[in-house]
Amino acid sequence: MENHYFQPEVECADRESLRALQSQRLREMIKRCYEKVPFYRKKLDEAGIKPEDIKSVDDIKRLPFTTKNDLRDNYPYGLFAVPREELIRIHASSGTTGNPTVVGYTRHDVDVWADGAARALAAAGCTTSDFVHVSYGYGLFTGGLGLHYGAEKLGAAVIPVSSGNTQRQVQILKDFGSNFLCCTPSYAAYIGETCRDMGVDTKEIALRGGIFGAEAWSEGMRENIEKLLNINAYDIYGLSEIAGPGVSYECPEKNGLHVCEDYFYPEIINPETGEVLPDGEYGELVFTCIGKEALPLIRYRTRDICALNHEKCACGRTLVRMAKPRGRTDDMLVIRGVNVFPSQIEFVLTGMGLEPNYVLVVDRAHNLDTLEVKVEMTPEMFSDSVKNIEAVERRMAAKLHTVLNISAKVTLVEPKSIARSEGKAQRIIDNRKI
Amino acid sequence: MIIKQLSIFVENKEGRLSEITQTLADNNVDIRALSIADTTDYGILRLIVNNPDAALSALKSEGMTVSLTDVIAIAVPDTPGGLNKAVKVLSEKNISIEYMYAFLNPRKDTAFVIMRVEDNERAIKALTDGGIRLMHNDEIYSL
Ligand SMILES: [Zn+2]
């Protein structure tokens, strides 16, 4: 597939000049935060950092972190760095607990965000002559307007359908000749199934690609959507605190998401110690909004578990790639000094064709952490011979070891003996007394 | 000649065995022979019953992991070397025995033994040729 770029001068820039640009933007940002946001002035003072101490992105590791709680504590506008007259947009993400987080944009910020979404669309092969069908919800949620502005900025024509009424979605896809679909991956699959149920042949529709985000999805789901709709499906990542969809995006290589690091500087940290981790190591994804005016967050902790890769991509882009997030830090366990995520266990089990019904039991014996993974026995695994069952356990333990980097004891338990609810409490039993 | 054995996955938890025997009793299933293969975490309960199909569906509907396994049963004289003869016949033909266990025996002169071998057909032929009496399934279910 031919490569399309929206801003090749940035997307394929040499790392040297990109770094210089980042350092310059960081210096300006820290100065502005110190002058305009009392919260950050206090934080930097407490850390004994003066704005002029921050000279390049190498110094970023000295800066304090910002958390979602900081946003909540300063609800709604406490962290804004511009006066009201410069704001042109407000979005918010619903809080499941406590206040929602409110974010603001200047004209420049909306433009920056649109760049990200436009880069994502171009990378997916979208051009000025295409029709972009946006089925994300429009509203306080950033999905709809994010892709809307991105498509306009690219010069494509937006069809702002918003979410809901799936039969009408299919009708519009077909009649209006939509070329690209933007929505959540689960909704894309649903639209695909509705097409099939309505007897709409995907050959009758002009759809070539889709940009799907706002929720985690697997490679299996990608294959399913691509088959159902006969398209190429691309992932897009974003969060309203940083901008919205378009913070990072997939290219045709479909091997990591290119981060718009000229605007959003990413780091991976050890969520326990705050230490910055090298490429390839999984930890918490942190962004510094070096290119934004209204809400320039310093080292914002996303709680997404991710890894970075600075190698040049086969698509020609030099922008760093982030892996698909593997889960949330809230679920992380530290066992024998190694970070373990329940999603890794799910990955192993589903990879073996099993339902991810498991419980992790962590304990400590002779000052050493132990990990036991209890998995429900299935008819396929069962045998009248102990030898065969032990072979299944060993195979599972070997796969877990490869993925987790620590050994785990696998125990098969009776079917339906593990609670089905999603809560962390039922998935993890930590018996360590620390 | 092929006997259906129930193989049941049992976690090492209090009360699990009695749940199984209760279910069988409630469904009028009589146990003819039983053995347990034990590990630290679980066991595999192996049962010979008078009505394996009824037992299978009753246990399954209780949500248990249970399957039917083909085994054979032999009758050997209850004298020194009785079992040895049968084992020798199989080992001479390189037929390995996964496990075996003795059968409840109402009479004194004969021992009944359940055998799980890797190849039932070959084992049946070898044992028959070797002069070992194999038991018919009706003979066992109706004991
Ligand atoms: Zn690429």
The ranges assigned to domains in chain B are 2-68, 70-141
Long-range contacts of B105-108 (CB under 8 A, 24+ apart): B105/B78, B106/B143, B108/B78
Q: Are B11 and A390 in contact (CB < 8 Å)?
A: no
List the CATH number of the domain containing A175.
3.40.50.12780
Q: In this predicted model, what pLDDT tens digit does every residue of A295-341 receive, in sequence order? A: 999 999 999 999 999 999 999 999 999 999 888 887 788 898 888 88
Helices A185-197, A219-229: crossing angle, 10 deg rounding: 30
Question: Does residue A424 register a pLDDT over 70?
Answer: no
As given in the structure block, the two tokens for residue A77 are 């506008």
Question: Does residue B143 register a pLDDT over 80?
Answer: no
For residues B69 and B5, is the Cβ–Cβ distance under 8 A? yes
Distance of alpha carbon B59 from alpha carbon B63, whole angstroms:
7
Q: Are B63 and A384 in contact (CB < 8 Å)?
A: no
Q: Residue B30 CB: number of other CB atoms within 10 A?
A: 13
- Give me the domain span that covers residue A344: 333-430
Same domain, yes or no: A202 and A301: yes
Distance of alpha carbon A211 from alpha carbon A192, whole angstroms:
14
Which of A382, A386, A411 is closest, CB to CB, to B65?
Answer: A382
For residues A276 and A267, is the Cβ–Cβ distance under 8 A? yes
Q: Residue A390 CB: number of other CB atoms within 10 A?
A: 14
List the CATH number of the domain containing A368.
3.30.300.30
Q: In this predicted model, what pLDDT tens digit does every residue of B47-69 receive, in sequence order? A: 999 999 999 999 999 889 999 99
Which of B41, B46, B67 is closest, CB to CB, to A379?
Answer: B67
Question: Does residue A355 register a pLDDT over 80?
Answer: no
Question: Does residue A421 register a pLDDT over 60?
Answer: no
The predicted complex's ipTM stands at: 0.89
Which of A386, A413, A416 is closest, CB to CB, to B44?
Answer: A386
Is A290 inside a domain boundary?
yes
- Fold matches, B2-68 and B70-141: yes
Is A263 inside a domain boundary?
yes
Helices A342-351, A386-404: crossing angle, 10 deg rounding: 130
The CA-to-CA distance between both ends of chain B, in Å, stands at: 15
Same domain, yes or no: A287 and A383: no
Which of the four pLDDT bands, split at 50, 70 and 90, describes residue A425? very low
Q: What are phi and psi of A69, to 5 degrees?
A: -65, -35
Q: B2-68 in CATH: which number?
A: 3.30.2130.10
Q: How many residues are present in chain B?
A: 143
pTM of the model as a whole:
0.71
Is A2 inside a domain boundary?
no
Question: Does residue A386 register a pLDDT over 80?
Answer: yes
Total domains, chain A: 2
Question: Ligand 1 center to residue A233 CA distance, Å?
Answer: 14
Is A79 inside a domain boundary?
no
Q: What DSSP character marks residue A68? A: H
Considering only residues A334 and A32, tell me which one the structure prediction assigns the higher pLDDT.
Answer: A32
Which of A378, A383, A414 is closest, CB to CB, to B11?
Answer: A414
Same domain, yes or no: A191 and A95: yes
Same domain, yes or no: A338 and A318: no
Same domain, yes or no: A151 and A236: yes
The residue-averaged pLDDT of A276-303 equals: 96
Q: Which of residues 61-100 of B touch A (CB under 8 A)?
A: 63-65, 67, 69, 98-99
A158 touches chain B (CB under 8 A): no
The DSSP annotation for A312-359 comes to PPTTS--S-EEPPP-EEGGG-EEETTEEE-HHHHHHHHHHTT----EE
Distance of alpha carbon A49 from alpha carbon A339, whole angstroms:
31
Q: How many residues are present in chain A?
A: 434
Same domain, yes or no: A294 and A343: no
Chain B CB contacts of A377 under 8 Å are 9, 65
Give the best residue of A384, A390, A410 to mutate against chain B (max B CB count within 10 A).
A384
Place of tokens 């804004």: A80
Q: Are A412 and B9 in contact (CB < 8 Å)?
A: yes
Q: Which of residues 374-403 of A touch B (CB under 8 A)?
A: 377-379, 382-387, 389-390
Is A246 inside a domain boundary?
yes
Mean pLDDT (chain A, rounded) = 92
B70-141, what's its fold? VC0802-like (3.30.2130)
Q: Are A389 and B46 in contact (CB < 8 Å)?
A: no
Same domain, yes or no: A222 and A316: yes
Place of tokens 């993400």: A93
Cis peptide before A100 (omega within 30 of 0): no
Q: Are B7 and A383 in contact (CB < 8 Å)?
A: yes
